[in-house]
Structure 1
Amino acid sequence: MRLHRGRRAVVPSLLAALTLLAAGCTSDGGSDDEAAPATSTAPTEPTAEPIEWTDCNEPLQPLVAGRPGSERGLSFECGQIEVPISYEEPGGERLPLTLVRAVHPGQTDRIGSLLVNPGGPGGSGVDAAIGLALTLPEDVLRRFDLVGFDPRGVALSSPVECIPDETKDRLVASEPQPTSDEQLDDVFALAREVAEVCAERYESPAALGAFNTVDTARDMDLIREALGEEKLNYLGYSYGTTLGSTYAELFPDRVRAMVLDAAVDPDGDLIADAEARAVGFEAGFDAFAQNCTSLIAGCPLGPDPRRFVEEVMLQASQSPIPSSEEGETRQATPGVVLTAVQAALYDTRTWPQLSQSLAAARNGDSAGLFSLADSFSGRLEDGTYSNLLDANIAINCADTEEEIGTDEVRALAAEWDATYPLFGAGAAAGLYTCTPWEAERTPLPERDADGSAPILVIGTAGDPVTPLPGAVDLAEDLTAGVLLTWQGQGHTAYPKNQCVNDAVNAYLIDLVVPLDGLTCPA
């Protein structure tokens, strides 16, 4: 069972600090360190009280100090908001969501709050806000408070937790290119095992199905209200574009400005999306390989990086590769190798690390590969995991009623393995993940957001995770969608390119909408 998602995991040191942050983010309703939601009395209609912010500079200082952007002198605050577990019962039980707010010391002529989501699903918005506060253009930070929230079921917001750490280790290490009947039987058995343990943990399909995108979008509107904003300003990446477009569909008249970067295709079904991912990662690997072989100093992987990776995977299948990391007992299987490759393709800045790690693995040391794979899957230094994988599966499965049977997966695995030799079979195998999932489903709505203000959709020509056609489709589907294309490589564009930055900044600050179809060079 191979897992695919749109964003990177929370790094271990940050997760530890965020746990401290949550301890300081208590509201009148208290904090929630357990997976089960909190219970409190709620009004008959969902409303939101103003957020009581608490200074969080001290617990975050170790993470900010010394990093690029730390000289900005940002001020961090944390808070909570309680939302209905079910919007069909707005007066019923509620659960707390954790938020963080970053304020620039030079803020003038404040426009409002800019809410951010990093994707996943399962990525921490608190984590994202801290990182973006250090990297976004200061022109934007001087006009907006930057606000991140952990969506329901994610990180510090009543996290869905049901997959044992040992099972997550097996997920990462599992066969990445399953084509034989035996290999696919193992895929199906592992998917059923995950579904069963999560169903047992949450007891009812309604409880597990509460972690879905539609209700998270409704949560966002309560956050908007609690922030005192008449309309929403939003910046969403990858899966965050699905969340943002869902919000715009539900509340089109409450959008002031919305930037959807690395857009997920709203039109594809599960099979089309999985094949698009395989296509994207194959193209992303080719771009990585071309970059490596063009280096003046020479490519550590030789003249044919693809063949090099295949040889390392064969080596790992015959004899798993040990790690030089002190205390590490795991050995890299082909699943770890390809997970590391997939992780590095998200960002061109990790390409050198990937080539060096593959070369080291060929020589018998998998430490670099484990570093990449662990970051991607949310594995922490002590061998435990964040809830990234739990949330990713729970939310993805709650968002669809589609179920792909074993016979169709077998056929697609064979077909795609021949067409997309590195990533095809794994993409096909992942289609079975939600078939045995026992939870209520809340399918995503069709999204045209008719009546919304203009929405800026950004696609990257060389995005291996959410290929450019998805951004084209989303911009076309949205009545007020405007497409911006960056001719770059990697996942997401803003704020990596000055042309993109200028267009997004002018839109967020002055509501100057770029020309539909604008293309920014790499």
Structure 2
Amino acid sequence: MSRLSRLAAALGVVCLLTSCANTVSGTPAPPRMEQRGPVGAVPAGLERFYGQPLGWTSCQGYATTPEQKTLFRKPQLECARVTVPLDYGKPQGETITLALLRRPATDPARRVGSLLVNPGGPGGSGTEAAASFASRMTGELGQRFDLVGFDPRGVGLSEPPVRCLTDQERDAERLDLDLDPSPEGVAQTEAEEKAYAQKCAERMGKDFLANVGTREVVKDMDVLRSALGDAKLNYVGFSYGTRIGTAYAEAFPGNVRAMVLDGAVAPTEDLVAQSIGQAKGFTAAFEAFAAWCVARENCALGKDAKEAEKKLNAMVAPLKKEPLAVGDRKLSYSDVGTAVAQAMYSKDLWPMLDTGLTELAAGKGRALLVLADAYLGRGADGRYSPQNDAFRAIRCVDDPPVTDRAVVLERARKIREAVGERNVLDGDDEPVGALDACAFWPVPPTSQPHQPKVDGLPTTLVISTTGDPATPHQAGVDLAKALNARLLTFEGNQHTAFLQENRCVDAAGAEYLVNLRLPAEGARC
């Protein structure tokens, strides 16, 4: 997930939509119908999807929480739904709907087209991202493009969303630590993972789970391109959104006008390599946080950055035995790890993490619980967004599963060897060699890491951050090479950078998207 999505969630400014309605005196206004498609290449048998009209209306009626209602008061936002086949192999069969949120170009006479955005995850809501980005779409970028966020199938407002657990089951899962490496502990953990996979199959259906992956999402994007009236796609993808962009570039290279991929997932990198890269990235980010913290007057981790991790582990260790009561809820050991990870996505969250750790030392856990809730998509009303269930469902069909416990343990060993004793909140815990839910997934994977073939793709732009904790800089280098794209390096400590108030990055991205002028080779911000 992108830095923007996680930061917005942590600050309580999250947009989760459910349906579109513009209400006047309690009466929904009829949608404004618009038909711009079909445009460009249309695959045989899909004409009705590519040419469908879209009904646009106010987004205010989509809001289901106070935070969402605040976010969707912006009058320039409008929402719609688009219908797509559940199974593209059976276009006359069952259909599902995707949610769209649009901020129209402010200079329609000079409009280039639509700019689709996806914030990553998998499971991140593009409608949320677009609503948050809307106020930042200034200058020519905002004047020339309709900003369009879409929730991929199974995500956010798209119907149906992936929901494998109830809110109560999700709360209970957070208190179940699964730290026991014994055969009995492994068996218990695997039984829970298998039960999770079974619940997903029962509650969502195997047909839906089989068609929720990136392979289908890129086909949905091409439907969106046409229905929005664009002969060529303009796209910005963050984090996992770069995987969507890469897959689209491979499936429809001739349909791309411009593509910005920020916070890259390397196309050939397997889950072991990704895990090692992320472990190193988050550890490096924590070290940067520790250096910042100990320079403050009252850092919760003391005055010695080299001892910060040990102090953190000591502070958190009691939670392995007993969670901390926070009002009518509890803060678990895993919640603290989640909160720390959340704060590593942006320096803007470092003060909140320091406050949370100071509270923890005093036997309190409110701030850490807020950070963990933001990462896990739990709203103030106790309801969870579908993002985590969608994350698992998509990952389980996007990559081959690991079904050998020895491989699980070997992966843990490789991560420890690569990171050493610097792996934050790992401590002396022995790895638990249990298989995860994907090993028991009821449908086979539909894709796997590979070198993309993108003949005919125009030169695109990849942005990679030197201190990115979730998607290491090298992954951006690798993706740019694989796509023959131009690489822009941002020197900073955060996850993704475009449209996040860095003038250098934003100017380079806007110049490319509007005028197709790329930054110079080797450019850095």
TM-score by length of structure 2 reads 0.86
- Does 2:503 align with 1:502? no
Q: 2:313 aligned with 1:314, yes or no?
A: no
**Structure 2: unaligned runs, 5 residues or longer:** 23-27, 34-43
List aligned pairs for 1:50-69, cutoff 5 A: 50-56=52-58, 58-59=60-61
Deviations 1:423-472 (A, max 9, x none): 66799879734111112321046424221111101110000011111111
Corresponding residue pairs, total: 495
User: Is it true that 1:122 corresponds to 2:120 in the alignment?
Assistant: no
Contact 1:101–1:129, Cα closer than 8 Å, also in 2: yes
Once the 2 structures are TM-superposed, how far is the Cα of residue 481 of structure 1 from its aligned partner? 1.1
Q: Give the aligned partner of residue 210 of structure 1.
A: 211
Structure 1 range deviating more: 157-166 or 83-92: 157-166
Query: Bigger CA drift: 239-248 or 265-274?
Result: 265-274
Where does residue 482 of structure 1 map in the other structure? 486
Instruction: State the alpha-carbon separation in 2 of the partners of residues 15 and 495 from structure 1.
Output: 17
Question: 1-side partners of 2:151 and 2:423: how far apart?
Answer: 36
Code of the residue aligned with 1:494 in structure 2: it is F
Task: Tell me the SS of whatever aligns to 1:219.
Answer: helix
- The aligned counterpart of 1:398 is 397
In structure 1, the residue corresponding to 2:325 is in which secondary structure? Answer: coil
State the shift of 1:172 in Å: 3.0
Higher mean C-alpha deviation, range 213-222 or range 509-518: 509-518
- Report the Cα distance in structure 2 between the residues aligned to 1:166 and 1:274, rounded to whole angstroms: 29
1:105-184 correspondence to structure 2 within 5 Å:
105=106, 109-158=110-159, 159-175=161-177, 181=183, 183-184=185-186
Residues 287/129 of structure 1: CA separation in 2 closer, same or farther (3 Å cut): same
Q: Distance in 1 between matches of 2:82 and 2:17?
A: 17
Letter in 1 for 2:299: C
Moved more, 387-396 or 5-14: 5-14
**CA distance, structure 2, for counterparts of residue 107 and residue 240 of structure 1:** 27
Matched, 1:300 2:300: yes
Aligned-pair distance for 1:287? 1.3
Percent identity for Structure 1 against Structure 2: 36
How has the CA–CA distance of structure 1 residues 246 and 152 changed in structure 2, closer, same or farther, with 3 Å as cutoff? same
Of residues 443, 466, 471 in structure 2, which corresponds to 1:466?
A: 471
The amino acid of 1:133's aligned partner reads A
| 1:439 is the counterpart of 2:452 | no
In structure 2, the CA distance between the partners of 1:111 and 1:16, relative to structure 1 (3 Å rule), is closer
The amino acid that maps onto 1:195 is: A
How far residue 268 of structure 1 moved from its aligned partner, in angstroms, is 1.0
Residue of structure 2 in register with 1:226 after alignment = 227
SS in 2 for 1:236: strand
- Cα separation, partners in 2 of 1:110 and 1:5, compared to 1, 3 Å: closer
Summarize deviations over 1:111-131 as a string: whole Å, max 9, x none: 111000010111111111100
Q: Take 1:334 and 1:89, find their aligned partners in 2: how far apart are those partners?
A: 46
Secondary structure, in 3 states, of the residue corresponding to 1:55?
strand
Q: What is the Cα deviation at residue 84 of structure 1?
A: 1.0
* Residue matched to 2:191: 189
Residue in structure 1 matching 2:522, options 501, 517, 520: 517
* CA distance in structure 2 between the aligned counterparts of 1:355 and 1:142, rounded to whole angstroms: 40
Following superposition, the deviation at residue 48 of structure 1 comes to: 2.0
Partner of 2:97: 96
The structural deviation recorded for 1:334 is 1.0
SS, match of residue 395 in structure 1: helix
Given residue 166 of structure 1, which amino acid in structure 2 is its aligned partner?
Q
- Distance, in Å, in 2 between the alignment partners of 1:183 and 1:511 is 56
* Residue 200 of structure 1 pairs with residue 197 of structure 2: no
- Aligned twin of 2:253: 252
Most deviating of 418-427 and 285-294 = 418-427
Q: Residue 110 of structure 2: SS of its match in structure 1?
A: coil
TM-superposed deviation, 1:66: 8.4
Amino acid at match of 1:462: G
1:410 Cα offset (Å): 2.9
- Counterpart residue number, 1:267: 268
Counterpart AA for 2:169: T
AA aligned to 1:234 is: Y
2:59–2:79 contact (8 Å) kept in structure 1: no
The equivalent residue for 2:355 is 356
Counterpart residue number, 2:497? 493
SS of corresponding position for 1:75: coil
Residues 433 and 458 (structure 1), Cα distance of their counterparts in 2 relative to 1, 3 Å cut:
farther
Q: TM-score, normalised by structure 1?
A: 0.86
Give how far 1:237 is off: 0.4
Aligned to 1:32: none
Q: SS of the residue aligned with 2:114?
A: strand
| Deviation for aligned residue 1:143 | 0.9
Q: Which moved more, 1:297-306 or 1:95-104?
A: 297-306
Partner deviation per Cα, 1:386-445 (whole Å, 9 max, x = no partner): 111110000111112232422222343355456253266799879734111112321046
Worse-matched range after superposition: 90-99 or 238-247? 90-99
CA contact (8 A) 2:406 2:433 kept: no
What is the CA distance between 1:385 and its match in structure 2? Answer: 1.3
> 2:278 is matched with which residue?
277
SS in 2 for 1:8: helix
Residue identity opposite 1:352 in structure 2: P
- CA–CA distance in structure 2, aligned partners of residues 98 and 426 of structure 1: 43
One-letter amino acid of the structure 1 residue matched with residue 135 of structure 2: L
| Structure 1 portions without partners, runs of 5+ | 30-42
Contact 1:160 1:387 in 2 (8 A): yes
Distance 1:106 1:225, change over 3 A: closer
The answer (yes or no) to whether the contact 1:5–1:392 under 8 Å persists in 2 is no
1:141-183 CA deviation, whole Å, 9 max, x = no partner?
Answer: 1110100111100111121112233332244334386655555
CA offsets 1:458-494 (integer angstroms, 9 cap, x no match): 110000011111111111111x311111011110011
CA RMSD of aligned residues (A): 3.2
Tell me how far apart the structure 1 counterparts of residues 130 and 239 of structure 2 sit (CA, whole Å).
15
User: Is the partner of 1:217 in helix, strand or coil?
Assistant: helix
Q: Distance in 2 between matches of 1:404 and 1:316?
A: 31
> Secondary structure, in 3 states, of the residue corresponding to 1:450?
coil
Q: Secondary structure at the match of 1:244?
A: helix
- After superposition, the Cα gap between the structure-2 partners of 1:65 and 1:499, relative to the gap in structure 1 and judged at 3 Å, is farther
Residue 331 of structure 2 corresponds to: 332
- Looking at structure 1, the residues matched to 376 and 204 of structure 2 have their Cα atoms a distance apart, in angstroms, of 22
